[in-house]
Structure formats: C-alpha cells, structure tokens
Amino acid sequence: MRTEYRHDLQKRSLLLVIFLLTFVTAFLLKNSEKKETSAAVKDSSTLVIDAGHGGIDCGALGLDGTRESDLNLAIALKLRALAELYGQDNLMIRQDDSTKSDTEAYSEHRDLECRTELTNSARNPVYISIHQNTYPTGQPSGPQVIYAAAEGSRDLGALTHANLLRSLYPDCRRVAEPATRRLYVLSHVNCPAILVECGFLSNMIDLERLKDSSFQTGLAAVLMGSFLQFRSNTERI
C-alpha cells in the first residue's frame, strides 16, 4: 500500500475517533441532565457484537486468500474495545476463530441458531453482525447495511449506512435494505438488529482498505457512534 494512502487512512481514522469522542462526550453530558430513572433505563442495553462465520466456516475469500472470518473478528474486537472504553455493556458472540455450532459435526444451521439464542438471552439487546461482501466481478465496492424486521432495526440500519457513507465511502450510492428470510439470525432475533457488509473482498481497493488496521478502527468507530446515536434517539433503550 502506498505510504500517502496509508497516511490518509490513518488521518481519516483518527478524525473518526475524534468525532466519536466528541459525540459521546456530548451524549453523556446530555444524559447526565436527565432524570435518574431515564438514565437507568437507557443504560440497560447490551450491544451484541457478532463477528460473522469463524472456525471451519471462513466465509468469503479475498482475491489474495484473505478470510472474511478473520476480518470480521478484527473489526468486532475493535468495536468491543470502544464499547468497553465507554462502559457500554456488550456481548461478543465469538471472541476467537471458532464456530458457535455445538454439534459433533459442524452444522451451519445450529451455528446460526446458537447466535440467535445468545442474542435473545441478552438484556435489552441491540444486535450488530459484521460481515464482508463478495461478487463474481471486481466492480462492486462499498458497504451494505441490511436491517431486520424487528422494531428499531430500520432506524439503526439507516443511521449506520448514512454514517458509513459520510465517513468512509462518500462515493457509494447504495442504500440500506430490509433483510430477506434467507438471513436466519436477522429473521429470528427479537431486538433491533442489523447486518453490516463492510466492503467487497472481490474489489481490490476495498480489500486493501479492509485489511488495514486503521481502516478497521474507523469502521468500528462508525458502528459504535451509530449505536450510541440510536441509543440516544430511542426511548425504550
């Protein structure tokens, strides 16, 4: 990767983290002025972070052999670090290169069931699933946010998609889309839920960015900032 391109990425990521810090500070100050009961309700949400795939299921493969499951986990761990920094309750669906299937032989269906059960067992969950896209040709690029049918999901999805475009993918013209029944977890969790395809492993420019640790931090910052905006906008959380 060219040095100036890397510097540009690092500068963008630093700006994102500054944006996040500014937003969170304003958010905390605003909430501290509210009644105690309101703050107690808002503080009870759990950010569920699901790094897609893992273990035997590596997901999509990049043009250079990069495994989707590894990128998903790297971004998820950065998102958890930010959540911890702000004292946000969180639940990692997986923390290493492992599957959630608890059957003797790997079962994709059981893996997805376990992710769903874990999410639904969390206290007042808000679910963010992290994935990477792929396509037969190298042309498509940029993020794709897919939202569940459950209440609040569409708002969280639209907010996250807009923030990703504004901060990291200004040339992308895609819009957030509702999930189909094909996406098991989004169809079976009963909380605000989105799946974020961070970029295309089949596109060389996206692939280089997605492998860059600074860019991953930028993605995590956008996801964290979007969650906090959603939380502050939502009465029930």
State the minimum distance, in angstroms, from the CB of residue 72 to Zn ion. 7
With CB atoms as reference, the residue minimizing the distance to Zn ion is 131
Residues numbered 19 to 58 that lie near Zn ion (CB under 5 A) are 52
Residues numbered 55 to 114 that lie near Zn ion (CB under 5 A) are 59
Q: In what order do the strands lie in the sheet with 125-133?
A: 90-92, 46-51, 125-133, 193-200, 144-147, 177-178
Q: b or e along 90-114 (b: 16 or more beta carbons within 10 Å of the residue's beta carbon)?
A: bbbbbeeeebbbeeeeeeeeebbbb
Question: Looking at beta carbons only, is 61 or 204 nearer to Zn ion?
Answer: 61
Residues numbered 116 to 175 that lie near Zn ion (CB under 5 A) are 131
65 token code pair: 């052999």
State the minimum distance, in angstroms, from the CB of residue 64 to Zn ion. 17
State the minimum distance, in angstroms, from the CB of residue 105 to Zn ion. 21
Element (H, E) at 180: none
Q: b or e along 118-130 (b: 16 or more beta carbons within 10 Å of the residue's beta carbon)?
A: bbeebeebbbbbb
Question: Looking at beta carbons only, is 42 or 67 nearer to Zn ion?
Answer: 67
State the minimum distance, in angstroms, from the CB of residue 133 to Zn ion. 8
Question: Looking at beta carbons only, is 131 or 188 nearer to Zn ion?
Answer: 131
192 binds Zn ion (CB under 5 A): no
Q: Which amino acid is at 61?
A: L
Q: What is the DSSP letter of 37?
A: H
Question: Looking at beta carbons only, is 9 or 49 nearer to Zn ion?
Answer: 49
Taking the C-alpha atoms of residue 45 and residue 31, their distance in angstroms, rounded to an integer, is 15
By CB under 5 A, name the binding residues for Zn ion. Answer: 52, 59, 131
